[in-house]
Amino acid sequence: MAIRTAKERIVVGLMILVNRKSDGVTYAKAETESLFLAKGLDQVADKGGNINLPEDLLFTVISLAISTSRGALMVKGAGTFLEKIPMPIVDPQSFFQQNKPVNL
């Protein structure tokens, strides 16, 4: 996952890999980007211009990006072997601590 910010937007990029543990082969890969328009981000920027998103906003955009990407993968995988694979529930908190936004 990568989070990028600019004056009035937040972009959350995700890469989804479908692997089988038994053979370690990647059977599907999807990359998504979710764009969120957010006015006033410049008001939370530090003196260096780095935008410091409030934790609750960051958690919300990560959650929405994960949910949207899951839905996109389900739609794209319809009619293929992917529709028979259960999609794991992902805890957004596990991404939250690891990913700091970078400016676009």
In this prediction, residue 55 carries a pLDDT of 84
Res. 103 pLDDT band, cuts 50 70 90 = low
Q: How many CA atoms lie within 13 A of 44 on its CB side?
A: 19
Alpha carbon separation from 52 to 43, 47, 74, 96 (Å, rounded): 9, 11, 33, 14
Question: The sheet that has 26-37: what strands, in order across it?
Answer: 26-37, 9-19, 2-6, 102-103
In this prediction, residue 97 carries a pLDDT of 59
Res. 12 pLDDT band, cuts 50 70 90 = very high
Mean pLDDT for the stretch of residues 28-54: 85
Mean pLDDT for the stretch of residues 49-76: 88
Rounded to an integer, what distance in angstroms lies between the CA atom of residue 65 and that of residue 69?
6
Q: Give the pair of three-digit tokens for residue 14.
A: 């995700």
Q: Is the pLDDT of residue 99 over 70?
A: no
